Amino acid sequence: MIRHSEHPGLYPVHIDGKYGYIDPAGTVKVAYQFDLACAFSEGLAAIRQAGKTGFLNAEGEVAIPPRFDWAEAFSEGLARVQADDLWGYVDVGGNIVIPAQYDKALDFREGYAAVKANGAWGYIDRTGRWAVQPEWDDAQSFGNGLGCVKRAERWGYIDPSGQQVVAPRYLSAMSFSQGLARVWQDGQWGFLGSDGEFVIEPAYRWAYDFQEGLAPVQLMEQDDRGRSKSGFIDRSGGVVITPVYDWALEFSEGLATVRTGGRWGFVNPAGELAIECQWHKSFNFQGELTLVGTDHELFYINRAGETVWNPYG
């Protein structure tokens, strides 16, 4: 996630099938010229031209010319790139650090990346050396020093040497985020600590990861129309924002998107509605701006809820 102080202040936009970038005031800073343009991460953004993908820098210059079949965002100084249906990694200079050789690959987290080779998942380090041999049915990124892995339809957690810390026993589980991992047990979601013990007992119909110290959760209880309410808890399981919303997503840049009455808006950590619920769609803030919109149109607003870019009028 890009923090406010790290965001370069350029946001992808498109008109008539071509993409460029605007600044927080809505002024076009990079002309509409790309077939696709993505959000910035670690000072670079993936762009696509003539069927190939490269990267743009924060000055709006092409830093890595489009030459990859596909590319994902940078994470820990490396980006996933695809060539001939296989995945490898490049550095910020565009140099191939780990040649394309994996069937699937995830971002680097805590110095390791989950990759799939010959039908099985393992973890590599930044040199491409196997840290955990490919012997798992599925895998997610490392977090809090543990990797989330799957075997025989059950998820558990291993350390960087491949030793099991939490034996695979959960039907669904996610990577650790801010010291806790959400897992599904007996039809309810709860949160584990790194010792494999529940810090927050399973009690929720749905939950998202902790971000900025809070996690959105949905209550098990339903009203007479079969609807459950969502709110936010802290890392001890205490309710911080009362479950009164139809749905809620993670915090980003001090605001979280929530839905009520079929419309999305934003709350702050105190539970105050910072931007009224009024849109059919909304996304997390990145820096100064976020995308909101109708079912067919998207536009940017700032943290005051003011529209700064709307090509539809």
The model's pLDDT over 181-206, given as tens digits with 9 standing for 90+, comes to: 999 999 999 999 999 999 999 999 99
Domain ranges of the chain: 1-102, 209-313
Length of the chain: 313
**Which tokens belong to 242?**
């009362």
HSE, side-chain direction, 13 A CA sphere, residue 81 = 27
CA–CA separation, 27 vs 302, rounded Å?
A: 13
Q: What is the pLDDT of residues 124-177, one digit of tens each?
A: 999 999 999 999 999 999 999 999 999 999 999 999 999 999 999 999 999 999
Give the list of residues 6+ apart from residue 296 with CB closer than 8 angstroms, or none: none
Q: Which two tokens stand for residue 199?
A: 């810090």
Q: Tokens in use for 22? A: 């605007």
Q: How many CB atoms lie within 10 A of CB 27?
A: 10
Tell me the β-bridge partners of 248. Answer: 258
Using 50 as the pLDDT threshold, list the residues of the chain that sit under it: 1-5
Residue 295: the pLDDT is 84
From CA 88, how far away is CA 152, in angstroms rounded?
A: 27
pTM beyond cutoff 0.85: yes
Note whether 101 and 117 are within 8 A (CB).
yes
* Per-residue confidence (pLDDT) for residue 223, from 0 to 100: 85
pLDDT for the residue 6: 66
